[in-house]
Amino acid sequence: MPKRKLLTAVITSLQKFYGLPKPPKIKDPLELILWENVAYLVDDKKRAAAFALLKKNVGTGATQILAAEDAQLMEATRLGGMLPEVRAQRLRQIAEIAHWIFKDDLKSVLKKQLAEAKKALKKFPSVGDPGAEKILMLTRSYPVLALESNGLRVLLRLGFAEERKNYSQSYRAVQEALKAQLPADVDRLIAAHQLLRQHGQELCKRSQPLCEGCPLQGQCDYFKATYVCV
């Protein structure tokens, strides 16, 4: 029987290697949704610049975005990469949902039961289960470990689950493997999310991963299969 993978051992190794990450500054649910949509396929620095410009010139309240001119919104989304017109309209759509459906009170959604809260957050464009769980985690509403593509790739390569036919199935397989191991402390879950994401971005890349310098070699099925068994 293969040895059970332990998330605590992975996170401990990553924290020793990268250091303890600073907690994300954004905690408001609407701002978290806007953060994800103001930019596309850009690095964190460019996304932060686009979000900062939106906040400075327009604001991040639903009524502020609804009152803004298209040109004001596009000034921010141009900094965020391709298809700025599409993303500007998406920001307005997000504001419409927040204002008309949720009555400018998204924080009340966070107090619902987990399944109900996720269902409500998924009304917003580009928010699926991972995105909804990330909002609930970063707002410290529920002790869930949200994973984005980099973090999920790391855990799949380590061997927490087998990669499935699609992203959603792979995500759920890893979540199922982790559910009995997750700490109740949301701050620890946020740090785990950040460390897994950083590792996937910097070393455990989608193509040409830098396995030789990886602190997780001894725990990684991918490394053993690729470098040890050849």
The domain spanning residue 81 has which CATH number?
1.10.340.30
Q: Give pLDDT, residue 3.
A: 63
Domain range for 75: 29-138
pLDDT for 226: 84
134 and 153 part of one domain: no
Answer yes or no: is 2 within a domain: no
Share of the chain above pLDDT 90, in %: 85
* pLDDT value of position 20: 94
Distance CA(158)–CA(168), nearest Å, equals: 18
- From CA 17, how far away is CA 7, in angstroms rounded? 15
Query: What is the model's pLDDT at position 1?
Result: 38
Number of domains in the chain: 2
Residues 128 and 162 in one domain: no
Residue 1, in any domain of the structure: no
Q: Is the pLDDT of residue 2 over 60?
A: no
**Are residue 117 and residue 181 in the same domain, yes or no?**
no
Q: What is the mean pLDDT of residues 149-166?
A: 93
Same domain, 158 and 57: no
pTM metric for this prediction: 0.91
Alpha-carbon distance values, 104 to 111, 118, 210, 214 (Å): 15, 17, 45, 45
Verify that 129 and 161 share a domain, yes or no: no
